[in-house]
Amino acid sequence: MRKRLAALVAAYAICFGCTEARRIRRDMTWSPADGPPVGSGEAPSPPGAVRLTFTSAPRDHMVVVSRGLLEQLRRSGRETVSVEFEVHCSASGRRVGWASVRTVAGESVAPVSGIYEHDGPPGPDPLSCP
């Protein structure tokens, strides 16, 4: 029984213990997300949604819905803002799982829903682990 438990604990550690959450920052431009998602033909985004575009990968976007975010960005007067993400990285340095937005322009954002969009051929992951 003890050997089985030890094997189970070791298997769990191998499968799940090798990831860690990391915070990374990316510069992004922003605009109101009042149209449909890029290249989709779907319904428009909800009122107040913001489309964040990676400056390092202009074909990659995130549409983010967070109370007051659009107004906050308009008041800032800046076209480019720093966005902090929490990503989960494997021991080998690959991103595993979804990245979540934590701050925009240095301000914490309320719980966020987000949609990742890509327009064009695949390219490097702009949220790859450091």
The range of the structural domain enclosing residue 46 comes to: 19-118
What's the pTM? 0.74
Residue 33 lies in a domain: yes
Residue 8 lies in a domain: no
CA distance readout (Å), 64 to 3, 10, 22, 110? 48, 39, 20, 11
DSSP character for 95?
B
Residue 3 lies in a domain: no
Question: Quick count: other Cβ atoms within 10 Å of Cβ 86?
Answer: 15
pLDDT in tens, 75-114: 999 999 999 988 888 888 888 877 788 888 888 887 566 6
CA distance 28 to 76: 14
| Number of structural domains the chain divides into | 1
Residue 47 lies in a domain: yes
Residue 110 lies in a domain: yes
Residue 30: strand pairing partners: 52
Residue 90 lies in a domain: yes
Residue 127 lies in a domain: no
Residue 10 lies in a domain: no
Of residues 66 and 114, more confidently modeled? 66
Q: What is the pLDDT of residue 31?
A: 93
